[in-house]
Amino acid sequence: MKTKKYLIAFVIVGGLLFTAFAKKTINHDEATTKVERKAKRIFADAKVERKAKRIFACNSRVERKAKRIFA
């Protein structure tokens, strides 16, 4: 009977500690609905060696060489 009482007391104390820890770590006052957005990169299709490949849209020249695939 004593073991059962100690077990119930241990579970209750553990639940209280868990609730206190969760309340301390989750702060709803700092919550915000604002979504921070970053600038997106713009891709352009370019024909390089008879294949359409995506490259970054910029003024620099892109030189690519085909890689051989050995099967």
pTM more than 0.75: no
Per-residue buried b or exposed e for 1-35, using 16+ beta carbons within 10 Å of the residue's own CB: eeeeeeeeeeeeeeeeeeeeeeeeeeeeeeeeeee
Extract the tokens encoding 19.
């609730």
Q: Residues 6 or more apart from 56 whose CB is under 8 A from it?
A: 41, 42, 43, 44
pLDDT per residue over 41-54, tens digit each? 766 665 555 555 56
pLDDT per residue over 8-33, tens digit each? 999 999 999 998 888 777 766 666 66
Extract the tokens encoding 23.
């309340």
